[in-house]
Structure 1
Amino acid sequence: MEKNSEGTLVLVLLTLIEVFLSGAVEVQPSISPAVAGGPLTLSLSPSTTLNSGSWAVGASLILTWVGEQQAVFPTYIGRASVNVSTGALTLNPITLVDSGVYIVQSNDPQFTANTSIAVVEPVSNVTLSVNQTNLVEFSSSAVVTCSVSSGSSLSFLWLNGSSEVTASDRVQLTDGNATLTILNVTRYDQGPFTCYVFNSVSNGSNTVNFTVFYGPDNMALTINGQSMTSFLVGSNLTLLCSAQSSPPAQLQWAFRGQNVNTTGPMLYLYNATENQSGPYSCLAFNNATTVNTTITTQITIANSSGSQQQEANVWLLPLLLLAALLLSLPGKI
């Protein structure tokens, strides 16, 4: 009876040890998430001496071992091995299809442990596909698609310069943010636009710039760098015309509605005469946008002596009228 009691006690102790080991042993990956193309080792913690066991991913067996002997299943031959002493499994190289729940089982001692492994492929060779890079303001739309040669579990982020691009009435982000569409571009949509592609193990980027044709608009016309438009006969005048335009606008000058033989931003009037008084116009034309616009200013060129005589006459006439009135009064003859 004593021997039976001792045997029962041993079995209970062994059962308690197995339960303890089953709850205490954990599988620790050498890297998580795992990088496709690289090695992955799944070790047991705490370190345990095993006499036999098996590894599986999901319902698919990878290998088994007993003592010093191990058997690798066909789909893992050449890239799976086990440390028969510690039970550590090594896969090299690991692939995307190797993602899953890895289970280790041992009968000596008896326990089961598992861990979930995600395999991620690094990002490589980010490229941009663009419908067109030369655009016309308010009439063209840009479509840019970002792609990679390889990579998994990808996220996409777009920047305009250093500012993040977000969706709006004119901006669309589709295909999981891989495609950027800008409707009715403006002059502020020239970029650079950068697509950043990333996952938990790597990242990459590529950039595109646009040429946006716009204008001419916001025209300005100054004379001698001032806003005044009245000058004396004999003055030398420099008329300067400017317009916001891409490409730069072609500028043509006109006087009293008739083109003059002058192009470019400046028109010179040397030793100006009264006959040169009148409306001066600057006409701007953009070949790319086919838009033209005009600005006109009225210039007055007057004789200084004539102006003084006219001013004296303005003061003299009331005085003469007053004198005539006084002389006409009775008793003043």
Structure 2
Amino acid sequence: MQEPTRGARSRRSRWFPLVWVIPSVLVLLVVIVLAARALVATPALRSFLADYPGQSALPAGAPVGFPAWLEWQHFFNGFFLLFILRSGWIIRGKKRPTAFWVRRNEGRFVTRTPPVRIGIQVWLHLATDALWVLNGIAFYVLLFATGQWVRIVPTRWDVIPNAISAGLQYASLDWPTASGWTNYNALQVITYFITVFVAAPLAVITGIRLIPGLALRFAPLDPVFSARVARAIHYPVMIWFAGFIVVHVTLVLATGAVHNLNHMYAGRDDGSLLGFAIFAASVVVMVVAWFALRPAVVTAIAGRTGSVRTMPRG
């Protein structure tokens, strides 16, 4: 039998669609920019942008700046999401796990039914999920206890036209100049609101529904909230978080990196390099953790919480 040519093998690669996806996206972005610049040049749009500059006023007494708790919360949130997305993508690839983990049915957590065996990447996904949820609970409590919630929850109807205005400014590459130290632009507010109060709860609820071993407990919900429905929601939510992170980091670095990084990582509104240094250190930590968490390391860590069986290669 004739072996496949190099071109045929390339077309079967999962990366082959990028050959046309990347150029198509670039062309689409150019079209969007040109269309937006043409629109904002019209008298009607100039008047609209003057009436709605892109920022909705905050309630009286709204906090200014970022407290220290939000700075470390921001790092841990990004750190956990990195490995949630990584393990989730591996799970979605449906490759045979290199090892399996089973909870020890002893001590305080004894169940009548035997524990369910799960793949090592599913274990990593659930473990980082649990840490992310704990971090999120602390975030919600502190967010409302300190009044920071008013910065990411729309409180005025003019947030909608202002968000449209901010979107047009971004699309035309004449980006909003408002400082996040005092008030986010309206598009940021809506995006953060969706991420914190819609996407995050959906990720948790659908993720719990998909936990292996809980199918029988959730069986009564099958007519309205089956595992299939949960999975159909869970994946788009993962894409939302991945897209949010890419766009968020890109705009932070492209719209005044030094000041933006000082705001979130150093809690100060100046031009020093402290925020950049802390950000760089956090990136190093993430990169080191990414390469350190090899399958053998994950298996060793998982072995401290249950029984692990490594599968033979081949």
Higher gyration radius (CA) = 1
TM-score, structure 1 length as denominator? 0.15
Q: Larger RCO: Structure 1 or Structure 2 (Cα < 8 Å, ≥ 6 residues apart)?
A: 2
Higher helix share: 2
